Structure 1
Amino acid sequence: MGQSVLNDLNLDFGSLFLLFVTVCAFMVPVAIVLPPVPVRKSDALLQTHSRAGVRRSKSALNNQYDAAQHAPRDGRPTTVQSLLIHPVKSCRAIEVTRSRVLPQGLEFDRLFTFAQLKSPFPMSLGSTDAAKSKHRWEFITQRQFPRLATVKVDLWLPDEMKLRRQSMKVTREAFLIVRFPWKEDGWRGLLSVVLAKLGGGAAAEPEMEILLPIDFPSAAEIKEKGYTFEDVKIWNEVVTALNMSPELPRELMLYLGVSNKLGLFRIDPNRLREVFRCAPVKEDAGYQPVTGFQDAFPLHLVTLNSLQKFSEEVPKDDQLKELDVRRFRPNIILSGAPAFDEETWTRARFRPGKSGLYNDAVFHVSCRTVRCKMPNVDPYTGERHPREPDRSLRALRDVDKGAPLNGCLGMQLTPLFEVDSVPGSTNSKLGSGLLGDDDPDDGRSAWIAVGMTVDVEERGEHLYIKQ
């Protein structure tokens, strides 16, 4: 009797094992084809939108350290090597092959900024309770929170073909997906790691996503979402912008290491910051120069040859092997210009060249870019070098009498718009493109693209004027 029961148990165990192997053999290929990963916000956008930008493997900056490639050569003009936009200030850049130029800078650049709510400090002994309780929003960057460099931003633009395939109305509604690494503690964290690698490969990490609309919300949407208009300080300026903090998960504050309340501000297109100092005056530009959440001017230009010449003098170590141009947060990156020649430019015209465009883009070269310690942060790892390149910038690039004891690298630009760039003119014609092709009604827009060539129309001296 006992032997019979034992045989039955062995038979049952063998049957269960065979069933387990059969299920695994069936499920493994299914899991490979359809991995059991959670649905992300970006998965839904795949049905109607396309992600803008150049993949890192195809980047025009992959050869940025090749000195011979970017040095000036007889007969070869200075050209646009790459274009970068930063939709969320201090977060990961998006490389594009062309962009519309608006009065406030490249389209989609610096639309958002993170900020922290700070108490007034220090306070005098005689301060009132009202003064002590007054808080204010101040923008944050990689200077204080270097992990912002690892926050990725994807720009999703409507795809007409996908929309028609879905029998949906063609729209111009675009979105940002903000992604940052995040892993829960315990078994949930382990599961998120497994699912991330199933969906994205061995190098993938679990991430949390935030979906943000590009279009400025309507009054009804602002009320429905609980957004508020509040003042936020950026350097020495205070601008009223839209506080979209309800969109932020608490995990982002923990990831960045922000101890104060974290906010997300969207620039109000009707309350852009006016630019004075070294910018052209309204009578010369034809409009009052403005900017969004950029540090000071609408656009920033860096030439690769200048960066390489400077980089040769910067001490390298295990933490700093090369100076990636992305450390300097430029919009326009040029190849083929003599080292530091851009510091003599005061007006530059970008011509179509091999870009495929039909228009010129003209810029007032307003002043040098005075550098802070932010280039010390690695643009991919978010790790901050304790000394470089800040120390070398101060020692070797103290070249502007208006900013003594500060290092300078790169130039600040203000767009100029000509009469023949208005919609319908010969110079404004473009084919349909990923970043849109509708000019504003006032005609103040142009296009810039990789492959354009640079003509320096005016030269002069630069003297930085502090804010």
Structure 2
Amino acid sequence: MDGSTVPRGGPVIDASSAFILLVTIVAFFLPLFIIFPPIPPSKREAVLDTHSQIGLGPSESGLRGHHTGDDAGHSAVKSQGGSQNGSQKGTQNGSNAKSQGKIRSLWIYPIKSCKGIEVRQSKVLPTGLEFDRLFTFAQLKSPFPVGLQASGDEKGAHAWHFITQRQFPLLATIQVELFVPDIIKARGHASKVSEPFLLVRFPWQERGLRGVLGLVAAKLARGWRARPEKEFVLPVAFPPQDEIDARGYAHEEVTIWRDTVTALNMETELPRELALYLGVSNRLGLFRIDPARLRNVYRCAPAKHDAGYQPVAGFQDAYPLHLLNLSSVRDFDAKIDKDEALRVLDPRRFRANIIIDGGDTPYEEETWKKIRLIPGPGNKHESSTFHVSCRTVRCKLPNVDPDNGYRHPVEPDRSLRKHREVDEGAKLMGCMGMQLTPLFSKTDSPEDLESWVEVGMSVGVLERGHHVYIRQ
């Protein structure tokens, strides 16, 4: 024996062998993680088992190419027929109205100040488009400061006030998705699937290891650019009393502008992280408009004896619908001082329901007093008529970018006040768009109070006149 030591144990694995082994393991398990991610199913996946999602994706949007007026976003419009056919349909409906453009895009905003949903068609109700502004977030505020002589009750009183992107711009990043029952998907499901739902999502990453795992899970489930999110589900239909009691909802007063309405507070559905994400330090509530306690609309709206019913609204600012003309947006866009944060004025900043393209005549809509939206040939829906109630007087909300929630310090509010102070009833305020009140051919029963609008409908002007805004 030469005294040398014989090595014990198994084979020695050097660094290169360990690296090859690691790569082999990753290559084996990574496809499995991508196809079968080790994360629990989302609420969205559960809802899609029995429901279908309503809304258009970015590639289907009628607003593509809006800033140039080209035809990039007109595919849906063209499918409804040309303007000549639309005018002929108007004649068949008893209208001699001359076409003043077409509907290019339709939007609903189920939760006030959150992301909207673009649709191809929508039912029109006295409150506006179906599913529009059913909910609003609100914060519980104290009345301080109060006078020294105020009573104890006055000093201790708190009240709910609605919130918008003006105070909390990150509301713009809250994703709202609408799901309606799908008869085919629902076959074989014992659970009740007859009601539509809203799925609400917002970005949220926990701290520490839990947050890292959430980030990895999000990227495995939805792609490399995905971020962790919190989500919750809301019923769209107004709940019956037994469900209100079971879920801890409560009827409470909430103030929207100068109106105070009794609505259903559903704050028990909100995850605690939402207030932290938005930056709301007060108690955060979520109110659902009560169909039996809608807000009456007066001021510039038609009177009850003229409309055939009392005009009403849900959580819209003042009137049931908002119309925007892309020709006017393009004209105004050319007057804004641009910077890196605002290169092109996105019409979504104005949160309109009906977006039309009125050709080469900007602000033509400000002369309208009554319009009819006329379907093309072969369309199953009849014409819809609207009272053009007044101009839309703008606050600073359009300063918020609808994609990322960034609030521009001055624009477009400054340019609106400079170039669009055009209404003698709204001194020092800028105007963009028009407020509408639905009109119906029959008003004898609640079933009569509905019509339809659809992308591609022609705009026929029935009456023209002068507008003067009436403040609240």
TM-score surpassing 0.5?
Answer: yes
Match of 1:448 in 2: 453
* Contact persistence 2:100–2:461 (CA under 8 A): no
Once structures 1 and 2 are overlaid, which stretch shifts more, 75-84 or 450-459? Answer: 75-84
Task: Name the amino acid aligned to 2:460.
Answer: D
1:372 to 395, 409, 418: 395
Match of 1:410 in 2: 433
Say which SS state the counterpart of residue 32 (structure 1) adopts: helix
Once structures 1 and 2 are overlaid, which stretch shifts more, 58-67 or 440-449? Answer: 440-449
Distance 2:416 2:18 in 1: 70
Match of 1:60 in 2: 62
> Does 2:176 match 1:153?
yes
> Does 2:253 match 1:212?
no
Equivalences for 1:286-435 in 2 at 5 Å? 286-337=308-359, 338-353=361-376, 356-419=379-442
Distance 1:17 1:403 in 2: 72
Percent identity, aligned pairs only? 54
Once structures 1 and 2 are overlaid, which stretch shifts more, 392-401 or 331-340? Answer: 331-340
Match of 1:83 in 2: 106
Distance 1:168 1:58 in 2: 35
Residue-pair matches, total: 447
Cα shift at 1:7: 4.1
Indicate how the Cα distance of structure 1 residues 74 and 360 shifts in structure 2: closer, same or farther if over 3 A, else same.
closer
Task: Name the amino acid aligned to 2:330.
Answer: Q
Indicate how the Cα distance of structure 1 residues 24 and 120 shifts in structure 2: closer, same or farther if over 3 A, else same.
same
> Does 2:292 match 1:270?
yes
Distance 2:170 2:259 in 1: 25
> Does 2:69 match 1:42?
no
Say which SS state the counterpart of residue 8 (structure 1) adopts: coil
Cα shift at 1:25: 4.0
Cα shift at 1:357: 3.5
Task: Name the amino acid aligned to 1:117.
Answer: L
Indicate how the Cα distance of structure 1 residues 26 and 367 shifts in structure 2: closer, same or farther if over 3 A, else same.
same
Equivalences for 1:8-47 in 2 at 5 Å? 8=10, 10=12, 23-47=25-49
Alpha carbon RMSD of aligned pairs, Å? Answer: 2.5
Match of 1:97 in 2: 120
Indicate how the Cα distance of structure 1 residues 11 and 306 shifts in structure 2: closer, same or farther if over 3 A, else same.
closer
* Contact persistence 1:355–1:451 (CA under 8 A): no
> Does 2:282 match 1:260?
yes
Distance 2:274 2:182 in 1: 30
Match of 2:89 in 1: none
Once structures 1 and 2 are overlaid, which stretch shifts more, 440-449 or 397-406? Answer: 440-449
Indicate how the Cα distance of structure 1 residues 244 and 8 shifts in structure 2: closer, same or farther if over 3 A, else same.
same
Match of 1:436 in 2: none
Match of 1:425 in 2: none
Say which SS state the counterpart of residue 300 (structure 1) adopts: strand
* Contact persistence 1:97–1:450 (CA under 8 A): yes
* Contact persistence 1:352–1:358 (CA under 8 A): yes
TM-score normalised over the length of structure 1: 0.90
Cα shift at 1:10: 2.7
Indicate how the Cα distance of structure 1 residues 168 and 361 shifts in structure 2: closer, same or farther if over 3 A, else same.
farther
TM-score normalised over the length of structure 2: 0.89
Indicate how the Cα distance of structure 1 residues 189 and 167 shifts in structure 2: closer, same or farther if over 3 A, else same.
closer
* Contact persistence 1:355–1:450 (CA under 8 A): no
Cα shift at 1:294: 0.3
Indicate how the Cα distance of structure 1 residues 352 and 170 shifts in structure 2: closer, same or farther if over 3 A, else same.
farther
* Contact persistence 2:389–2:437 (CA under 8 A): yes
Match of 1:466 in 2: 471
Indicate how the Cα distance of structure 1 residues 18 and 411 shifts in structure 2: closer, same or farther if over 3 A, else same.
closer
* Contact persistence 1:160–1:170 (CA under 8 A): no
Distance 2:307 2:378 in 1: 26
Say which SS state the counterpart of residue 447 (structure 2) adopts: coil
Distance 1:236 1:130 in 2: 22
Cα shift at 1:186: 1.0
Match of 2:146 in 1: 123
* Contact persistence 1:354–1:451 (CA under 8 A): no
Distance 2:222 2:164 in 1: 29
Deviations 1:389-428 (A, max 9, x none): 0001001101000111100000000000113x99xxxxxx
Cα shift at 1:215: 0.8
Distance 1:282 1:399 in 2: 28
Say which SS state the counterpart of residue 187 (structure 1) adopts: helix
- Runs of 5+ unmatched residues, structure 2: 75-81, 85-98
Cα shift at 1:281: 0.5
